Each structure stands twice: as C-alpha cells, then as structure tokens.
Chains A and B, each alone.
Chain A
Amino acid sequence: MAEVIHPDEILDEIEVSDLLTKALSLKKDNFRLSQACAAYANEKIELSYSFANDDTYQFTTLRVVIDPETEVPSITEIIPPAVFYENEMKELFGVKIKMISTDLQNRLYRIEEETPMIPKKGGN
C-alpha cells in the first residue's frame, strides 16, 4: 500500500495590495507557481494564483477579487514563469496587469475577438 500525501488545499482570499508580499513569502517557502487563471462571475473578476510545493504536495491558492477596471501588479518580477499566465489573463479577460516582464500586448494567442471570456453585455 502506497502512502498518500494529500494535505488540505488552502484558499487564501487577499487584497490586491498584498499580492506581491504573499507571493514572495510563498516563493521563499519553496513553492513553485502551479497555475494562475482568471474567472468572471457576478461582474467581478477573480484571479487565482496557485502555488504548489513539491516536497509536501501542499497546494495554496491566492485569490484576488477585483472590479474589471482595477489595476493589478504583475508577479513576473518575483516569479518569471508567470509571464504566460498573465498574458493569457490579459488577453482573454482584459485584466489590467501592470509591468509584465514581457508584455505581449494581447498578442499571445492573436485572436481577433477582444476579451472573449467576458460575456457580452446585452447580447445572447
């Protein structure tokens, strides 16, 4: 029988201003960025930055809930591989992310439609 390592996942709801300090402290605790994504619900945008630890299998998600107009600092300066995730958020959801290390200017997927993941107002 193999041992199962499955610590409870942590979901940490934080303010935009705390994002960089929290991400930095997770990085210092030997976490790697596992995924980052945005979701649109109730006219708010939820950003989830998930971090994983390969030794303990701990999975911690930082959740930031913002208005679509709020500006968010980029975490690429602390965690360089976040660059693709942040460009994806920016292109698909129109999240205003400041200072991405390599800002592809909405040209990651090069789609013609703007912010396709946000439901159209008044449309079907």
Chain B
Amino acid sequence: MAKLKKSPWLLHYDGSSCNGCDIEVLAALTPVYDAERFGVMNTGDPLQADIFLITGGINTQNKDVVKQLYDQMPRPKVVVAVGVCACTGGVFKDCYNILGGADSVIPVDIYVPGCAARPQAIIDGVVQAVELLEKRSEEHKAMKKNKKKGA
C-alpha cells in the first residue's frame, strides 16, 4: 500500500447481524489488530465518515436507516459489506424478514466473507477500501475541475 494522503474515517452500522461480525469489527480496531495504524478512525457521525462498514443483512425496518446513513455521507465514499450476511443474507437468507444482502439497498464496493468475518479479513477489506477511496477522491477532484472549466 502506497503512502496515504488522508486518514479516512469509518462508520460502522449493524444491519441485522448476529453481533459476531460487529464485535470483530471492534476487535479489528483495538490494539491486537489495530486498523488505526492505517490512519483509519472509527466515528459515530455519518457526516464525517468516508468508509461505511455494514454488517448483517437488510430487513424491512432498517433499509431506510441504511439508505439514510449512506446518503448522509459526503462524497467520495466507499461501502464495505462485512460478513456473509451483509454479502448475501447468509444463513438468514430464507427468513421472512430479510430482504437480502447490503447491496439490495446501497451499492457495495468491497465484500468481506466469513461467518463471523475474521479481523484479518476485515482489515484486508478496509485496506482495499482505503485504496479505492484514494482513487475515487482523485476522480472526484478531476470531475470538479472539469466542471469549473466547463462553467
């Protein structure tokens, strides 16, 4: 991974997971695994977040919450689906209240498999998200520049 220009902030939301992936996300941020060494910081405020970590599938009640959190995040942004439930619905796919994975309501960029996803896998996903974010912010800047020229 090349040197980073910025420290991306991370927003975590528990869709309808069993809690396993959530505590692994937290474990990935605590000293033993320490995702913070990549400059990533956990925040509770969607307005300041760059990377959206979502665990668990989407159900009828939280789909609006997830959509709203995604919309509140400033561009550019990256979505990481952590755990098999967020990827596809997992073991709960056939439950009456599960609509599917996180990609049924918001665009997902990176899928982290596992039940529960291991901290190493989560860190790998976050690192990929950081790289993608760099790329997107370059594109975003270029787009803004072009707009200015055009105006």
Contacts and interface: CB of A to CB of B under 8 A. Distances in A.
| A and B in direct contact, judged by CB atoms within 8 A | yes
Interface of A: 109-113, 116
Interface SS, A side? loop
Nearest to A111: B97
Rank and list the top 9 A-B pairs by shortest CB-CB distance, nearest first: A116-B96, A112-B60, A110-B61, A111-B97, A113-B96, A111-B60, A110-B60, A111-B96, A116-B97
Interface of B: 59-61, 96-97
Nearest to A112: B60
A112 B58 CA distance: 13
12 contacts: A109-B61, A109-B97, A110-B60, A110-B61, A111-B59, A111-B60, A111-B61, A112-B60, A112-B97, A113-B96, A113-B97, A116-B96
Nearest to A92: B96
A56 B59 CA distance: 41
Nearest to B59: A111
A77 to B, nearest CB: 29
